[in-house]
């Protein structure tokens, strides 16, 4: 038993060592990736629940690693957050989304607003407002086209500071969404005071609709809250007609998910914009 215990121990340390090495190499690659612009944005439509019309989109970051291929944001965003690289990366995302929308506008496409994800680090960064103002100014993009998604935990940590920052973002003319809503601990009185436009229902609540009773109750509660506060709602991760019908019948305004479209490269998304309506 002792022998076996020792082997098990060695096995674990080896695995841990491998993970540390892997992690370090990912970190080094990430520094290079920022310098060598190996990132691209994919765009996922957000559609009007009643008509299927594309009314906005979410920009999702993709890393095209020269050797690893596509690396998921689930893998590299946490590393970027721990190393502080997320701040320049987030600023790149804002700039790239603005640049792309300005190009589409110049081409005469029926452009819709695009939401970018900003991490708590970006939200608290000194350069947040100047970098966004600079992206809008240098691309000439009207600010109403830029939406910002912030997670519930990012804005609820220091509500007073958050309130000031959200107010400043609003005065730039941006739309603001609270992402992954329902997964954090929002104080309702704080939420009511925040100058936000939309709540995004986290995919974990949408996934088991309509059969899962607790998921259904949570979604209904979020919708009631949003309606009471006069906020729009986006349901994320809508994959089935049954989920769509449930959400529609409860007056969820906007849908996003594989049922309509996966996140697409810019050129494919431009084609969807030309069509305008998804199912």
List binders of ligand C2E among 241-270 (CB under 6 A). 256-258, 263
Instruction: Give contact residues for Ca ion (rule: CB under 5 A).
Output: 117, 149, 179-180, 202-203, 236
DSSP assignment letter at 157 = S
- Residue 180 C-beta: closest distance to ligand C2E, Å: 6
By CB under 6 A, residue 232 contacts ligand C2E: no
- Residue 232 C-beta: closest distance to ligand C2E, Å: 17
Which of 182, 215, 237, 253 touches ligand C2E by CB under 6 A?
A: 237
Query: x/- contact string, 167-186, with ligand C2E (CB under 6 A)?
Result: ------------xx------
- Residue 225 C-beta: closest distance to ligand C2E, Å: 19
User: Residue 148 and residue 135: Cα distance in Å, rounded?
Assistant: 13
Residue 67 contacts residue 123 (beta carbons within 8 Å):
no
Q: Report what 119 binds from Ca ion, ligand C2E, none; CB cut-off 5-8 Å by kind.
A: ligand C2E
Place of tokens 């190009």: 103
User: Residue 16 and residue 58: Cα distance in Å, rounded?
Assistant: 36
Place of tokens 């049922």: 259
What is the separation of C-alpha 113 from the centre of its chain, rounded to a whole number of angstroms? Answer: 14
By CB under 6 A, residue 236 contacts ligand C2E: yes
What is the separation of C-alpha 20 from the centre of its chain, rounded to a whole number of angstroms? Answer: 28
By CB under 6 A, residue 215 contacts ligand C2E: no
Whichever of 3 and 76 has its CB closer to ligand C2E, that residue is 76
Whichever of 29 and 149 has its CB closer to Ca ion, that residue is 149
Residue 43 contacts residue 264 (beta carbons within 8 Å):
yes
Whichever of 59 and 191 has its CB closer to ligand C2E, that residue is 59
277, 263, 205: which is closest to 61 by C-alpha? Answer: 263
User: Residue 27 and residue 154: Cα distance in Å, rounded?
Assistant: 23
- β-bridge pairing 39-48 and 264-265: antiparallel
List binders of ligand C2E among 78-107 (CB under 6 A). 90, 93
List binders of ligand C2E among 112-171 (CB under 6 A). 117-119
- β-bridge pairing 254-255 and 264-265: unpaired
Q: What are phi and psi of 41, to 5 degrees?
A: -105, 135
Q: Which residue is nearest to ligand C2E (CB)?
A: 257
Q: Which residues bind ligand C2E (CB under 6 A)?
A: 44, 60-61, 72-74, 77, 90, 93, 117-119, 179-180, 203, 236-239, 256-258, 263
């Amino acid at each position: 038993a002792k022998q076996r215990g020792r082997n098990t121990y060695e096995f674990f340390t080896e695995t841990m060592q491998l993970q540390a090495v892997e992690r370090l190499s990912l970190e080094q690659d990430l520094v290079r990736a920022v310098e060598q612009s190996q990132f691209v944005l994919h765009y996922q439509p957000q559609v009007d629940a009643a008509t299927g019309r594309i009314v906005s989109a979410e920009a999702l970051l993709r890393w095209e690693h020269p050797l690893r291929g596509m690396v998921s944001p689930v893998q590299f965003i946490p590393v970027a957050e721990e190393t502080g690289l997320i701040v320049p990366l987030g600023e790149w995302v804002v700039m790239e989304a603005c640049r792309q929308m300005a190009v589409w506008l110049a081409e005469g496409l029926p452009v819709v607003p695009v939401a970018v994800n900003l991490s708590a680090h970006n939200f608290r960064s000194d350069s947040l407002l100047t970098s966004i103002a600079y992206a809008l100014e240098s691309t000439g993009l009207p600010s109403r086209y830029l939406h910002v998604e912030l997670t519930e935990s990012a804005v609820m940590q220091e509500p007073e500071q958050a309130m000031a920052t959200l107010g400043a973002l609003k005065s730039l003319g941006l739309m603001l969404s609270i992402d992954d809503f329902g997964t954090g601990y929002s104080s309702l009185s704080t939420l009511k005071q925040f100058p936000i436009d939309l709540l995004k229902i986290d995919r974990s609540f949408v996934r088991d609709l309509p059969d899962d009773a607790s998921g259904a109750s949570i979604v209904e509660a979020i919708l009631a809250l949003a309606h009471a506060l006069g906020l729009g709602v986006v349901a994320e991760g809508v994959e089935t007609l049954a989920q769509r019908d449930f959400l529609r019948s409860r007056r969820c305004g906007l849908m996003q998910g594989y049922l309509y479209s996966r996140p697409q490269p810019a050129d494919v998304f431009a084609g969807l914009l030309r069509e305008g309506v998804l199912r």
